[in-house]
Structure 1
Amino acid sequence: MQRLEGSSNNGKLEGCDKIMRSLKLRNREDWKPTYDGGDEVEMNARLVRQKTGTLRCQRTVGLRTSWLYELIQEDQGRVVYWEMLGQVTTDTSMSGTTQNTTRTAAVASLSQLPQERNEPEKEAETLPSPPCSPSAVPPREGNTVVVTPVSASVSCFYLPQGAPVPRSTAVGQVIARIEATFANFKEQRATIHDMGKVSKACGCPLYWKAALFHGAGGETTGFISASSLVDTWNKLSLSCFDESSKFVYLLAKRGAAYLEQEDFTLLLQDIVDSHPGLTFLKDAPEFHSRYITTAIQRIFYTVNRSWTGRITASELRRSNFLQTLSLLEGEDDINQITDYFSYEHFYVIYCKFWELDTDHNLSIDRRDLARYNYHASSERIIERLFSGAVTRGTSAQREGRMSYAEFVWFLISEEDKRSPTSIEYWFRCMDLDGDGVLSMYELEHFYEEQHDRLEAMGFEPLPFHDLLCQMLDLVKPQQPGKITLRDLKRCGMAHVFFDTFFSLEKYLEHEQKDPFAIHKEVDRNGQELSDWDRFAAEEYDVLVAEDSESEHPDERPSEGDLECEQLEVALETGKKMEKLVKSELAA
């Protein structure tokens, strides 16, 4: 057993330095050797001396701390053995012995450590890790102990660009296909109309062609060459390892790691120009921008869960957007893809907006929005909509106007209050002070108007205290008297909660049926329809029926048509509510 030179701190630190070199941790910045307790000294890393003479090598990743080595010394500075430790997740304090760990020990004499050399050190690719058997100490042979080195890589927990993969021959094969495809083009240049073949050569879905065209610089020149695309693909392969990160890299602005609304314009214009389900739009170019705006707002409504106006690769991974985009290639009827791209959904949204926008300047004010669904929404919630609580621009606050893009968010949120974005949308509106909690004062503020309107229509409304008891039983908040966003998402009855406070017609519908009754409707694939899908399908049928009736005014529907009867009842209720609102405004 070889002693460390001297008994002072310098001698001990010199010995520790040798140990760190032997463990290949000397130049690793993320691993810090520490003495537990005692006096502090500096030598490439923080070393703290403790009476017990314990040296630990510590690495912290997030909130987890890995204690990999423990070197136990005698008081005179002589190294007895070093011990490998498991991970500590519950107790990462530096006191005494390590708790809640799985220990494995490997004993080594200082004489076995490699001698210092003047040649430069090479950084280790892997770090030693604990042997498999716990508490196993290798047998001693006199003063010599046999140590079996074990190596393992330290995993990374945050991979924003996807899990790295080794560069293989697949990249070379893609490049060869790209060059072969461009050889068939005139002057070996591809326009946006040629990008379908190029996209397939890259192994991408068909409607990635606009993203590839943009990523290779085609938007500025009107065409791309094989060399520009190959250069783009090489850079892409080195830094992006999954579809989401590749899509963001191709479509985003140079140097940006996120997608903004205008970044989707080229992609959606290409879909309008080339998808067989939208060929009829070629004769109506004035509707291209309306359809593109609607699709962009629907994308951000569903995908951009952070409400930042910037879609990241992480948000794309958690959404179904790229899968839905891939489905466009195999589906000629775009209305069968209800997420994001359905023309029928766009038709319903735009017609609803057109009815309210009387001057047709693509913006509406408070009075225009109040007329939606025959004044079903309360004046107080409309006031909050124009306060900037859920609108991104400043026009709603400064000019008192709501744009078409903002109306898309309103309509989807109004007709489907079960989705996460809709719950957040209305929670922001009701949270008057912005403290993240709906207080009893805020609930009473919105119910007061609802109470007065019910009385004016001849109904006997519940007193606020009784209604509050019902709502608390419905939501079951974790903190008494405080309703949070998490409470509303967890309870599954957020749509009933919101309608109770500011949507009169739907509140009356809920009062006439069991709110817990389960009635599911499914699409042709057996998937359950959302409230928005159901509403859009019904409204589209109504709009088509109105158009056909205007073309054939002599034809009348049969008396036994149940849907027409329900529509007449809804119209009568709406007219009654409209008269009520007009009388209130006159007063």
Structure 2
Amino acid sequence: MELLPEFSDAFASLYDKDHPSYEQIPTFFDPPPKPEDKLRQLLRREAHSLFLQDQTEELLNTDDLNELWITLEKHVTETSKSNRQLIKFEDYSRATSEVNAKCRKLLTVALFFELMVTSNFHGMLEIVSIYNHIMRRVSLIHERIALSFYDDFGHGYLSENDLESYITDTIPKLAQIRDCLQPSFERFYVCTVVKKIFFFLDHLHMRRVRIKDIASSGLLLKLLKLRDKPIVKRAKKNDNCFSMPAVLEVYEKYLDLDKDHDGMLSKKELSKYGSGSLTSIFLDRAFEVCRTYNGDMDYKSFLDFYFAMENRKSLPSMHYIFRILDINQQGYLTAQTLRYFYDGIEARLKTSKTEGVKFQDLKDEIFDMVRPRDPLKITLKDLINSGQGDTVLSILIEFDKFLAYEYREENLQNV
């Protein structure tokens, strides 16, 4: 469609490089200083640090939180039979008008109705739910600012080294870690925590994680829960993945596999992982794809492997395993790819003298389970959308998982 002459001329004038309006366009990108420009680098760091200090001062302190609680109590609408202090929206609005400006920014109308979704009291909220929400939010913002101090130039993300520095500096505040951490184990503890965070938040291998993602992921909250002394409960196991027992469990598994005690894992040593039923073909590919040193896997590479094997339903785990299975780096699996990895299963079937399924039948079953958009190719997205991704990946890489799947009906009958 052609423009009318008057519109055509006006349109062309907008793209006239000599047009005077071009002189008024503001700068929208300020490139970071070059490494050799030491002065600008120092100035940028100092400006970023001052900005973060200002942000910290804007957070609610103990006095602000005490004032908030007193004001909420003052405007309680009614107290239930179970002594729960409830507040309706009108009284909440009055309370909001009486608190200081910092509190008022957080006590929004949207917050009231957001919390109302999970309230068990018609048209009212418990004031303790409001207070606890504000406490959690302040804590989250505080830690996001704390993380930002390790982002020198304010890019909004941290590298593994940046996060290692943060974790190291945080350990003295973690009572459950500080009181039992041996100096010689500190670097392994820090490494395990950092690799877990990166495994779940950097599954695309960008080698950096956004600070906002770390702060909102729930992983940081788990770590910071270790600041409190544990409540002794005999029947309850500590399920915090960053607790000392949890980290030691991972490290001890690594040591148990390291039979020659050289601090590295060979392919033969890693073959004993779990039940020892990972196929040799899968392990060969894992050592091709993962970072190794003279053909051996170090603790950091093992951690990625471990988290992938132990969390197969998770998106990062499926990313990890799919990358190993994608032998031609095409972004999809074909029948030939499935055949390649089934050879590893078939070899174990022959060794154990177990009757197996024909590959054609297994291939058809996998494609039926996944129902890919392209009937000849299975992408990672297809696996995720199918809800069967972890099952499909497991039966291709692990003999025991394959057998459990093949004999699932018989196993159910024997239960």
| Fold match (TM-score > 0.5) | yes
User: Is 1:383 aligned with 2:288?
Assistant: no
For the 8 Å contact 1:253–1:263, the answer to whether it is kept is no
Q: Which amino acid aligns with 1:289?
A: R
Cα distance change of structure 1 residues 481 and 275 upon mapping to structure 2, 3 Å threshold: same
Shift of 1:365: 1.6
State the Cα distance separating 1:331 from its structure 2 match: 5.6
After the TM superposition, which residues 246-257 of structure 1 pair with which residues of structure 2 at under 5 Å, given as runs?
246-254=145-153, 256-257=155-156
Task: Decide which of 214, 218, 240 is 1:316's aligned counterpart.
Answer: 214
Instruction: Determine whether 1:491 maps to 2:392.
Output: no
| 3-state SS of 1:451 partner | helix
Q: 1:288 is aligned with what amino acid?
A: E
Which one of the candidate residues 46, 49, 59 is aligned to 2:14?
A: 46
Deviations 1:412-461 (A, max 9, x none): 21122111111111100100011110111110000012112112212111
Report deviation, 1:333. 6.0
Q: Which residue of 1 aligns with 2:260?
A: 359
Residue identity in the other structure for 2:337: E
Structure 2 CA distance, aligned partners of 1:289 and 1:453?
39
- 1:313-346 Cα deviation digits (max 9, x unpaired): 3533652234334433446369977454122221
1:292 is matched with 190
Q: Is the 8 A contact 1:365 1:400 kept in 2?
A: yes
Counterpart of 2:243 in structure 1 is: 342
Q: Unaligned 5+ residue runs, structure 2?
A: 17-23, 27-53, 65-101, 104-139
Distance in 1 between the 2:55 and 2:272 partners? 61
CA gap 1:445/1:516 in 2 versus in 1, 3 angstroms: same
Residues 275 and 332 in structure 1, CA contact (< 8 A), matched pair in contact too: no
> Partners of 2:276 and 2:56 in 1: how far apart?
64
CA distance in 2, matches of 1:273, 1:515: 53
CA contact (8 A) 1:248 1:257 kept: no
Equivalent residue, structure 1, for 2:299: 404
Q: TM-score normalised to the size of structure 2?
A: 0.62
Amino acid at match of 1:366: K
In 2 relative to 1, CA 172–248 (structure 1 residues): closer, same or farther, beyond 3 Å? closer
Specify the alignment match of 1:370 in structure 2: 271
The equivalent of 1:578 in structure 2 is none
Q: Relative to 1, partners in 2 of residues 1:405 and 1:372: Cα closer, same or farther, differing over 3 Å?
A: same
Give 1:374 shift.
5.1
**What SS class does the counterpart of residue 281 from structure 1 fall into?**
coil
Equivalent AA in structure 1 for residue 362 of structure 2 = L
Output aligned runs, 1:254-265, within 5 Å: 254=153, 256-265=155-164
Do the aligned partners of residues 514 and 250 (structure 1) sit closer, same or farther apart at CA in structure 2, a change above 3 Å counting? farther
In the alignment, which of 423, 438, 449 is matched to residue 333 of structure 2? 438
Q: Decide whether aligned partners of structure 1 residues 478 and 500 sit closer, same or farther in structure 2, where only a CA change above 3 A counts.
A: same
Q: Structure 2 vs 1, CA of residues 294 and 42 (structure 1 numbering), >3 Å: closer, same or farther?
A: same
Partners of 1:436 and 1:169 in 2: CA distance: 45
Paired residues of 1:305 and 1:315 also in contact (CA < 8 A): no
**What's the counterpart of residue 83 of structure 1?**
none
Give 1:55's aligned residue.
Answer: none
Alpha carbons 1:336, 1:342 under 8 Å: kept = no
* Alignment partners' CA distance in 2, 1:454 and 1:172: 62
The equivalent position to 1:328 in structure 2, one of 209, 219, 226, is 226
Q: Does 1:275 align with 2:174?
A: yes
Q: Tell me how many residue pairs correspond in the alignment.
A: 298
**Aligned counterparts of 1:274 and 1:172: Cα–Cα separation in 2:** 20
- 2:72 corresponds to 1:171: no
Aligned partners of 2:410 and 2:196: how far apart in 1? 28
Aligned to 2:322: 427
**Aligned partner of 1:327: which letter?**
K
Q: Deviations over 1:254-275 (max 9, x none)?
A: 4543211121223323444342
The one-letter code sitting in structure 2 at the alignment partner of 1:439 is T
Q: Distance in 2 between matches of 1:169 and 1:315?
A: 19
Conserved 8 A contact 2:55-2:145:
no
Report what 1:71 is aligned to: none
| Cα displacement string for residues 512-560 of structure 1 (whole angstroms, at most 9, x for unaligned residues) | 335999xxxxxxxxxxxxxxxxxxxxxxxxxxxxxxxxxxxxxxxxxxx
Q: Aligned partner of 2:344: which letter?
A: E
> Kindly tell me: are residues 309 and 354 of structure 1, through their superposed partners in 2, closer, same or farther at Cα, counting changes over 3 Å?
same
Higher strand share: 1
1 CA distance for matches of 2:370 and 2:400? 21
The sequence identity of aligned pairs, in percent, is 22
Which secondary structure does the structure 2 equivalent of 1:480 belong to? coil
What SS does the aligned partner of 2:14 have? strand
Structure 1 segments unaligned to the other structure (5+ residues): 1-34, 49-120, 124-166, 178-201, 204-240, 518-587
Any idea what SS the aligned residue of 1:411 has? helix
How far, CA to CA, are the matches of 2:325 and 2:194 in structure 1? 26
CA contact (8 A) 2:150 2:162 kept: yes
CA deviations on 1:345-386 (whole Å, 9 max, x unpaired) are 212211111011123332112111112235311111111111
Tell me: CA distance 1:403–1:458, structure 2 relative to 1, closer, same or farther (3 Å): same
Instruction: Assess if the C-alpha contact under 8 Å between 1:41 and 1:47 holds in 2.
Output: no
Residues 266 and 514 (structure 1), Cα distance of their counterparts in 2 relative to 1, 3 Å cut: farther
Alignment-mate amino acid for residue 266 of structure 1: S
Change (3 A) 1:315 1:37: farther
Report the alpha carbon displacement of residue 465 of structure 1 after superposing the two structures with TM. 0.2
1:311 Cα deviation from its structure 2 partner? 0.5
Q: Please, what is the CA RMSD of the aligned residues?
A: 3.8
Contact 1:248–1:258 (8 Å) recurs in 2: no
Contact 2:257–2:270 under 8 Å retained in 1: yes
Structure-1-length-normalised TM-score: 0.45
Paired letter, 1:373: G
Q: Distance in 1 between matches of 2:178 and 2:184?
A: 14
- With a CA cutoff of 8 Å and minimum separation of 6, indicate the structure with the bigger relative contact order: 2
